[in-house]
Amino acid sequence: MGILNITADSFFDAGKYKSIDLALKKTEEMVNEGAFFIDVGAASSKPGSQLISPEKEIKRLLPILEILIKEFTDTHFSIDTYNHKVAKESLTMGASMINDISGGEIDPEMLKTVAAFKVPYILMHMKGTPENMQKQPRYDNVTKEIKSYLAQRVKLALMSGINDIIIDPGFGFGKTVSNNFSLLKEMNVLNDLNCPILIGVSRKSMIYKTIGGSPTSALNGTSIIHAWGLERGASILRVHDVKEAKECIDLFLALR
């Protein structure tokens, strides 16, 4: 899954793909490098960011999404949103999937909306909101608590009529560096939930805070974490660097 941020304040590629021409070029690059999904986001979820209104998100997203869908007819576009109105407009336009960082908690209408379109739904764990999630997050047992949360939300999504559910443990969303590595180490227990697992660790602080540097120098570390994630059960990698992630997947499959 290639990441296409069309926001001005994402943590790694802020403002790079806000124009239609740049978004088209980046999408073409990621598709050619092997991306099956393109995850389009018009609202930043980096630590400290505030939630935005569905109206503002729609205004930013739909003009670019409409052209992307017309130009890349064989590509599956996932929409990274927590607003059900944005999900509805995007799915009506032809998007294939919804990626909700809040698991339906920010907007309770989200589950019903996704169910009505009969599309896959990515359900992520986040402790708090992007604005406050990194303000001293605490767990007694991070993996156990996240597994329990995901199990409850999966049950609710199924009861709402969603049949295709992907779970995301939410690396970096309300978790310390230590929490993230504990979760990665024990991630195989999430396979008990019988849902495909997506991980989003690309260039995140758990990597560069451990080895030093910044998001721009965290590609090698990202590849290593991807390999460990695949070994522990990840089915989808959400990434900034598609070529390198695809190589990780190809090498992992060659070992099986």
Task: List, by residue number, the catalytic residues.
Answer: 204, 238
CB of 149 within 8 A of CB of 124? no
The region that residue 89 occupies, defined by phi over 0 for left and psi between -120 and 50 for alpha, beta otherwise, is alpha
Residues whose CB is less than 8 angstroms from the CB of residue 228 and which lie 6 or more positions away in sequence, other chains included: 184
CB of 197 within 8 A of CB of 190? yes
Q: Which CA distances in Å does 1 have to 31, 155, 158, 159, 169?
A: 10, 25, 24, 27, 16
Please count the other Cβ atoms lying within 10 Å of the Cβ belonging to residue 249: 17
* First-last CA distance in the chain: 22
| Amino acid (1-letter code) at residue 62 | L
DSSP-derived 3-state class of residue 98: strand
